[in-house]
Amino acid sequence: MKAILLVDHGSVREAANEMLERMGELVQQLAGDGVIVKVAHMELAEPTIAQGFEACVRAGADEVIAFPYMLSPGKHSTRDIPRLVAEAAARFPTVRFSVTPAFGVHEKLAQVVLERAGVVPTGNAAYVTT
């Protein structure tokens, strides 16, 4: 079974950490019962990446896709999170794992910006996203 592990930076502010929990619940609702969705924090809060990865495996995952819940491909999403996921995965050699890119540039994110700013889209986005 496939699992998605949403990973953010982590915060000393509990309200910030709870936002990732809410997003995990939303992703789970959209994904349905055929996918396991768990959350983890890179640092400053629990569950840690190791704890989140283990929770995926305990729930039945044989593949874990870690998603850095970050906007840009900075050092945390390109270096730190992949390293920490690989370290967590080492305890489970039969479980496949990968780490996706951070959000980056995507039309749906632009739509959220416009919505939050109270602007109705008028253009036709032809930007190719990756």
- Model's pTM, two decimal places? 0.91
**pLDDT higher than 70, residue 127:** no
**pLDDT higher than 70, residue 129:** no
Q: Which residue has the higher pLDDT, 4 or 130?
A: 4
**pLDDT higher than 70, residue 130:** no
Tell me phi and psi for residue 84, to 5 degrees.
-70, -35
Packing angle, helices 81-89 and 49-58, rounded to 10 = 40
Which tens digits make up the pLDDT trace of 95-117? Answer: 999 999 999 998 999 999 999 99
CATH fold of 2-103, please?
A: Rossmann fold (3.40.50)
The domain segmentation of the chain, as residue ranges, is 2-103
Distances from the Cα of 54 to the Cα of 1, 9, 15, 114, 129, angstroms? 14, 18, 24, 38, 32
Q: Are strands 2-8 and 63-68 parallel, antiparallel or unpaired?
A: parallel
- What is the pLDDT, as a whole number, of residue 79? 97
